[in-house]
Amino acid sequence: MSAWISKIRNRLTLWYVGIFGLILFGFVCVASALHYLHLQDQLYHAEIQDMETVEGLLYFEPDGRLSLRQDYFIREEHRLLLDRLLEVLSMDGNVLFRNSKLGNDSLGGARTASEGSADFFRHSLRLASGTHVLVLSHIRPVEGRTVLIRVGYSTEPIRKQSIQLFGLLILVMPFALLAAGFAGSKVANKALDPLSQMAQLTQHITAHRLNERIPVSNADDELGHMALVLNDLLERLEKSFQQLRDFTSDVSHELRTPLASIRSIGEVGAQADYEAKKYRDIIGSMLEEVSRLTGMIDTLLTIAHAESGVLALNRSEFSVNELVQEAVSIVRVLAEDKGQAILLSVKDEVDLSADRPFMRMALVNLIDNAVKYSPEKSEIRILVEIVQASAVGDSSMVRISVADQGPGIPEDARERVFNRFYRLDESRNSEVQGVGLGLAITNWAVEAHGGIVSVSSPANGGSLFSMVLPVTPVNMIANT
Ligand code: ADP
């Protein structure tokens, strides 16, 4: 039973039948009550007619007794004669007449105040025998004497009729509920079938079949929307899995080279007897490769932490100008080695709320690349300025751009340079040390701060890397 109830379609059907049953029961009660009131109304109107007939038939006998002419009715078993309860009182409360059907019972005892008007007065009462009666009272003169006439009829027959109707409708209810249950389960099945199909399809999707999608029959309904959301989730999962596979294969590939190099250097060292200096050189080369490996693993760890969301940004407020100067001072020695000049121009003084070490690393990567890939004695220009970014609302953005006089980056590679392990034209880079992770880190750090990093190649050659970061207006100090 509990397994049956646990299915949504069965619960829906039960709810549907339950609510329908309640409404139906309410309807049956109201219909029976209305039927009773309608019959009572009809009885009331019949009583008015009867009252008028009775009023015309009342007369005083010569001895002063009040009587009712019976010869008006053709048959003695006339219904009015049989069922009518009749009582006539004098205005001082004496009973002048009671018909045989009423016997010694009374249709309300002494006259009440509301019975005093000349209009018909309607009221219900219960006789000593327990019978419910609808009584009509009227004050009127009979042969010059004012009397109170009360005509009553038992409401038992109409009560019985209404109860019969109620019983009949209640008897029909189970059949109506059965039909409702059947229809309800059909509707629930029809509505939930696509969900079962979706569940079946999704069950077959594994890590190796993430390219499969759930068919969307109607994108506008709730189930279609759910299919779209699931498909979207599958797409993101597929992308993540692909990235993970790429990452693993890239890492293995990148680790293999320095390891192979360490191995071959070691093998050379092991093959012959060398003098101590030669061994020191061999160990020195091996250590160089090891430190390259360590650097790469550190960078990979930073990327892995950043992408898994473990790295939290530790924001503080600092001057962009100072940050750029700090980054330049880190790279300056390398630039001086190549006789390059780093020219810094701060157009706007800006305070930024960001994670300072990450932003410094992002910037150092850009300037370091400019130094690495530009020829000797060239110039590297760094510019800090405020830009209005209409696309990002009214807030201002700070742009830090690094321009060099190097070989530039071809248009088709401008997006890919920010991918992990992407190195442009290995032969061109063969002289320059690097593993293709610097720009990936810069891209992550800038995006984590809500900014964008991009590259272009100006008409006069070289590369122009720009990072654009949002600045809160209060942190901004205009300086022209
Ligand atoms: P790495 O410098 O370690 O190779 P990066 O991620 O920093 O890795 O850069 C990726 C690639 O983009 C580099 O290998 C290089 O080919 C290209 N690149 C980056 N910066 C510049 C630049 N300023 N000028 C020319 N090429 C660049």
**In the chain, where are the structural domains located?**
3-160, 222-308, 316-473
Does pLDDT of 195 surpass 60? yes
- CA separation for the pair 195, 404 (Å, rounded): 58
Does pLDDT of 208 surpass 70? yes
CATH of 222-308, one of 3.40.50.1110, 1.10.287.130, 3.40.50.620, 1.10.8.60: 1.10.287.130
pLDDT band at 473 (very low <50, low <70, confident <90, very high): very low
Just give the CATH number of 316-473.
3.30.565.10
- Ligand 1 in reach of 424 Cβ (< 6 A): yes
Give residue 417 CA to ligand 1 midpoint distance, Å: 7
Give residue 419 CA to ligand 1 midpoint distance, Å: 11
- CA separation for the pair 132, 154 (Å, rounded): 6
Contacts of 263 (CB under 8 A, 6+ apart): none
345-377 tens-digit pLDDT: 999 889 999 999 899 999 999 999 999 999 999
pLDDT band at 417 (very low <50, low <70, confident <90, very high): very high
Residue with CA closest to ligand 1 atom 16:
424
Q: Of 26-30, 118-122, 288-292, where does mean pLDDT reach its minimum?
A: 118-122
Residues 43-60 have a mean pLDDT of 90
3-state helix, strand, coil in the chain (%, to 5): 55, 20, 25
- Ligand 1 in reach of 258 Cβ (< 6 A): no
pLDDT of residue 75: 57
Pocket-testing residue among 303, 342, 373, ligand 1, by greatest number of atoms within 8 A of Cβ: 373
Residue 109 backbone class (left: φ over 0; alpha: ψ -120 to 50; beta: rest): left
Give residue 71 CA to ligand 1 midpoint distance, Å: 126
Whole-model pTM: value is 0.55
Averaged confidence pLDDT in the chain: 86
Does pLDDT of 257 surpass 90? no
Residues 408-432 have a mean pLDDT of 80
Does pLDDT of 230 surpass 50? yes
Architecture of the domain defined by 3-160: 2-Layer Sandwich (3.30)
Ligand 1 atom, smallest distance to 435 CA? 3
DSSP code, position 410: -
Does pLDDT of 215 surpass 60? yes
pLDDT band at 395 (very low <50, low <70, confident <90, very high): low
- Ligand 1 in reach of 417 Cβ (< 6 A): yes
Pocket-testing residue among 405, 423, 425, 466, ligand 1, by greatest number of atoms within 8 A of Cβ: 423
Residues 118-130 have a mean pLDDT of 86
Q: How many CB atoms lie within 10 A of CB 468?
A: 19
Residue closest to 439 by CA, chosen among 347, 335, 362: 362
Give the rounded percent of residues in the chain with a pLDDT score beyond 90. 46
Which tops the pLDDT comparison, 202 or 468?
468
428-450 tens-digit pLDDT: 555 677 778 899 989 999 999 99
Residue 437 and residue 301 in contact, taking contact as beta carbons nearer than 8 Å: no
Residue with CA closest to ligand 1 atom 17:
424
Does pLDDT of 250 surpass 80? no
Q: Of 43-57, 123-137, 212-226, 303-317, where does mean pLDDT reach its minimum?
A: 303-317
Pocket-testing residue among 401, 439, 442, ligand 1, by greatest number of atoms within 8 A of Cβ: 439
- Tokens 């399809």 found at: 201
Residue 352 has φ and ψ, to the nearest 5°, of -125, 140
Q: How many CB atoms lie within 10 A of CB 44?
A: 14
